[in-house]
Structure 1
Amino acid sequence: MANTKPHFLSLRYRLMMFLCLSSAFVLILVWVFVTQFMQPLYNHYIYKHLLNQVNTVVSIIESSTEPISTRTLPIMDAQVSSSFESSLLSAIQSRKLDASNTCFDLADSTLQHVTGFENLYPCLLHEASFTTSINGKTSVWNGSVVESLRATVLSQGYVKKELVVDKNASTRQMAVGRVAKNGDETYSVIFCTSLARIDEAGVVLGQLMPWIFLCLMAFSIVASWLFSRWFTNPLTKLSHATRKLADGDYSVRVNVPETDEIGLLAADFNHMAGEVSRAAQLQRDLLANVSHDLRTPLTLIKGYAETVRDLTGDDPDKRTAQLDVIVDETDRLSGLVNSVMELSKMSSGTDKPEKVRFNLSQLCEEVAQRYEAVCAQNGYTLKLELPDPETDCTVCADPAMMERVLHNLLGNAMHHIGPDNVFILQVNVPKKGTVRVEVADHGAGIAKEDLPYIFDRYYRSRSDAGKAGTGLGLSITKAILQSHGFRFGVNSTLGEGSCFWFEAKNQD
């Protein structure tokens, strides 16, 4: 018997290992992201935001049909047109421009300030010497830092720069600029905003990550232990039930209330256990039925052979009668062996149908004619109900196998014929391309609990108990129809009779 104790290669431990390693991998990724990638990603986001701001102002300048500023003398402040100011104000109000925590600088080709706004304090772009006072804060619109950036923008057409007081300072800012054309005049457009010290937050988180890692890993181990136990418990039940089933306990069933894949597996196991139990019962029935069917003809053959040898002597009439019994029982024994062999071939797929197109209604008529003699001898009536000759009853099947199916169904109906001594063979076409054949009798019928198993090999309903026969005819019929892919079944009511049917198709 297999070891039932879990070990390090069991599904439970592998599942725990997977969950713990997954948690560790995720934590390491977070650690690396926080310490290595958060600052660059944040800076890139700020850059894209400032670039959108710059592009918005450049678009306003270049779409203006009139000069946006005039300067009487180089030393005089520039005069900004009211239409440009209105366009800037409209862009801010519509949130195309974000003026919060931002510095905007517009200068002409002389590197002199034209206009702008200052909502960034302190602003490293504009140095702290007197030019303009806003909300008590002083800004230098034409300092060395901003003039250097203006010159770079006008010469290169673009600038991106980080501004710091010194490398240990806590104030860090980013400036992005572009050139804008307005008629013959060239302008530099620069936006600046602060950069948060994300790297410092990364250092703090990096110091906390080992403790966070240990706490989360401890939680992951406990959670994975509980989860793996919950997950593998139904599988353990299935394993125990499988061993019991292998030991011959066919009554074992698994109670798994879940409706997931494991629940479906447990339901399939229970179904399999039921089928195995039924197969074992059929095997016992096979031993009982076949041994009885073999013992009877063998006993008769032996007894009559001994009688012929020891007692009959020269009496030709007795000898002939007894030899006839031997011949009949031998034929019966041969028929049983042939049925077993035929069912074995059909079930294993050795005998495959050789399909051709033929008229199934005509075949039913020919088979029915062969029962005229036996019906006349026993006082039976076979009613043959066929469709109109114009009706297309062509099917694609093996004619010899279909003939065997008809003989099996008619023989079964005759074996269970009712008090009226009537059985029926009916052919109809329920839809185009399908021919339905029904064989009905008015006998005792089949109990509802026997219907699902009536086509199983060696199965006999309670009403058939003790009757002669091998119990293989309907099994052979089932194997033939399944090899053709035809639908089949039986309808029955106790006390009223049974109707066996199958539907053949004209397409392979």
Structure 2
Amino acid sequence: MARFSARPGIRAQLMLFLCSICLLLLGLFWFLSTQMLEPLYNRRIEEQLSAQADEIVRLMDTATENGEILSSWDFGELMVSDTFREALYQALSKNSELTNFCVDISDTTLRNVLYIENLYPCLLHNSTLIDSDSSSPNAPTVLQMRRTCRENGQLLQSLRAPGGSSQMVVGRLTADGSYTVLVTTSLVHVGEAGQVLGRMLPTIAALIFAFAMAAAWLFSQWFTKPLRQLSAAARQVARGDFEIQVDSHRRDELGSLAREFDHMAREVQRAAQMQRDLLANVSHDLRTPLTLIKGYAETVRDLTGDDKAHRDEQMNIIIDEADRLTALVSRVMELSKVTSGAEKCEPVRFDFCQLCDEVSERYDAICAQNGWQLQLELPDQPVEVWADPSMMERALHNLLGNAMHHIGPDGVFILRAIPCEEGCRVEVEDHGPGIPAEDLPYIFDRYYRSRADAGKTGTGLGLSITRAIFQQHGCRFGVESTVGSGTTFWFILKHPPKEGAKAKPPRS
């Protein structure tokens, strides 16, 4: 019984992810608007007031260092230097960040020396808002702030009028302690604004969440459409319909996946066709020797049982066909073991030139019998490689046997070993009819035969076995051919690993 996962599909996961992101952003907006807005705003106002107060104090300290008298008593009144007053006005007019503010300057007696109002109402100088019994700039609350600033060297305080707005006051003391500077500005109703946003946020959140759900549904519908098409196409391929084509016009990863799926479907179709061809060809090759064996056995039984000469001839045909049948079955079994990994590659260090010498000796008799010549082109020094000797011997036999089947008029085929940077390049060359260019990509496929090989003996599996051996060793291989001039099969074996180094296993 099939088991279905309880996890939601990709579309549901996308919608869940997008909605979660939306809720997270709404929560972050709520936190910033209701919990962090007022503290951040007050911190910014404090920084601006502190910068303004520091600038005024710096200006006063510079004037004092230059010997300028900032204020003096004249007939019982406190007079401020016109030069200082003008310099102060110019400095304050250059400030671009803080526009609505008031400045209060007092001396050591805590009495007001100079005040500048650029804010209405100013709680420092319109003290009736906070001190109902006094309307003087030297009201008790203001005097207390001046005293606190003088004692501590600085001041940070908030003023709030009953039922009115609130203001922030920042105080600084000059370097010689002669003057106290207070700067104030109003605080907008940020807290009230945060409360209003908090009351409105549920409605806004509901609208945004509904929009996010609709957008997530549409996005997931669009995003998963190629995946649904691929799923439907995969079901059709599973039913044997390899002609299916998936829309691959997208230029993203999904489009690349669709193109790879189409390529896979074509390769599966070709593999299925090759499998059908293999079954048909093997069945045909099996049927022929079996028919001959049965026919000649019946003839021996019914007609030529007493005629020794005819009987021996027909028995030899039966034996030859049985051998051909055995060879075909052995080749199929060998291909199955190599390609399935049942026969593992066990690489060792050995001299490949010595293996070539041993393999070539096996062809001396057949070459002498047919007037052929196997030329060995080997280097003078040993060439050590890292491979499985028995598998390499089998591959050489397959390639040399293939060369003999396509030997040219000169009767020469060549086994060549060339040392190279990677290791050793091995070539098997014949001077036969060659392979057409359109057949070269399929020459190593199972039971594939080019049109030039039609009707020739052989199982058609030798090159497939050879390819499987090369793939187990992880070595590069290929074929080069020119029609009418001959064919060269080549492969490259790797150097043995250095002493003490761990050899990488061959790729399967």
**Fold-level match, TM-score > 0.5?**
yes
* 1:455 paired residue among 430, 444, 447: 444
- 1:361–1:156 CA distance, 2 compared to 1 (3 A): same
Counterparts of 1:207-246 in structure 2, within 5 Å, are 208-246=200-238
Contact kept, 8 Å, 1:446 with 1:461, in 2: the verdict is: yes
| Root mean square deviation, CA, Å | 3.7
**Counterpart Cα distance in 1 of 2:251 and 2:479:** 33
Moved more, 264-273 or 228-237: 228-237
CA deviation after TM superposition for structure 1 residue 77, in Å: 3.8
1:264 aligns to 2:256 (yes or no) = yes
Residue identity opposite 2:406 in structure 1 = H
Residue deviations 1:259-278, cap 9 Å, x none?
Answer: 21211221121111112111
Distance 1:37 1:357 in 2: 73
- Aligned match of 1:441: 430
Structure 1, unaligned stretches of length 5 or more? 3-7, 130-138
Task: Tell me which residue corresponds to 2:404.
Answer: 414
Q: Does 1:382 align with 2:371?
A: no
Which shows bigger deviation, 289-298 or 444-453? 444-453
Match of 2:461 among 464, 468, 472: 472
Q: Which residue of 2 aligns with 1:198?
A: 190
Does structure 1 residue 395 correspond to structure 2 residue 395? no
1:121–1:276 distance in 2 versus 1, CA, 3 Å: same
In 1: Cα distance, 2:58 partner to 2:346 partner: 81
Aligned to 2:490: 501
Does residue 282 of structure 1 match 2:274?
A: yes
Q: Secondary structure of the equivalent of 1:293?
A: helix
TM-score by length of 1: 0.81
Name the SS for the 1:459 alignment partner.
coil
1:414 maps to a residue whose letter is M
Q: Which whole-Å CA distance do the structure 2 matches of 1:71 and 1:480 have between them?
A: 104
8 Å Cα contact 2:355/2:393 also seen in 1: yes
| Counterpart in the other structure of 2:168 | 174
User: Does the CA-based 8 Å contact 1:69-1:114 persist in structure 2?
Assistant: no
Q: Which residue of 2 aligns with 1:153?
A: 149
What code does the residue aligned with 1:406 have?
A: L
Q: 1: CA distance between counterparts of 2:42 and 2:49? A: 11
- Aligned pairs for 1:68-107 (under 5 A) are 77=78, 100-107=99-106
* CA shift for structure 1 position 60: 7.0
Amino acid at match of 1:500: F
Q: Mean alpha-carbon deviation: is it higher for 315-324 or for 401-410? A: 315-324
CA distance in 2, matches of 1:213, 1:455: 65
Could you tell me which amino acid in structure 2 is paired with residue 173 of structure 1?
Answer: Q
Moved more, 333-342 or 468-477: 333-342
CA contact (8 A) 1:438 1:500 kept: yes
Say if 1:99 and 1:119, in contact at 8 Å, map to a contact too.
no
| Closer/same/farther in 2, CA of residues 198 and 70 from structure 1, 3 Å limit | closer
Residue 334 in structure 1 maps to residue 343 in structure 2: no
Give the direction of change, closer, same or farther, for the CA distance of 1:37–1:300 in structure 2 (3 Å limit): same
> How far is the alpha carbon of 1:215 from its aligned partner?
4.3
CA distance in 2, matches of 1:307, 1:433: 60
Partners of 1:116 and 1:441 in 2: CA distance: 110
Query: Is residue 162 of structure 1 aligned with residue 154 of structure 2?
Result: no
- Supply the AA of the counterpart residue of 1:155: E
1:353 to 345, 348, 369: 345
1:250 and 1:140 map into 2 onto residues whose CA distance is 97
Q: Which amino acid aligns with 1:149?
A: M
Aligned residue for 1:405? Answer: 395
Deviation at 1:491, TM superposition (A): 2.3
**What are the within-5 Å matches in structure 2 for residues 104-143 of structure 1?**
104-113=103-112, 117-127=116-126, 142-143=138-139
- 2:212 match: secondary structure: helix
Give the stretch that moved more between structures: 489-498 or 101-110. 101-110
Equivalent position of 1:134 in the other structure:
none
Q: Hey, what's the Cα distance between the residues in 1 that align with 2:270 and 2:207?
A: 55
Could you tell me which runs of 5 or more consecutive residues in structure 2 were left unpaired when the two chains were aligned: 129-134, 498-502, 504-508
Q: CA deviation at 1:295?
A: 2.2
Distance 1:160 1:102 in 2: 15
Higher mean C-alpha deviation, range 304-313 or range 412-421: 304-313
Q: For residue 36 of structure 2, what is the aligned residue in structure 1?
A: 37
- Does 1:490 find its partner at 2:479? yes
How far is 1:230 from its partner?
Answer: 2.0
TM-score normalized with structure 2 length? 0.81
| In 1, Cα distance between equivalents of 2:280 and 2:225 | 41
Between the two proteins, the alignment pairs up a number of residues equal to 484
Q: CA deviation at 1:371?
A: 2.1
SS in 2 for 1:357: strand
Question: Conserved in 1, the CA contact under 8 Å of 2:434 and 2:481?
Answer: yes
Equivalent residue number for residue 50 of structure 1: 49
CA distance in 1 between partners of 2:438 and 2:94 (Å): 79
Contact conserved, 1:61 with 1:84, CA < 8 A, in 2? no
Distance 2:252 2:104 in 1: 64
Deviation at 1:59, TM superposition (A): 6.7
**Amino acid of the structure 2 residue aligned with 1:285:** D
In 2, the alpha carbon distance for the partners of 1:270 and 1:360 equals 43
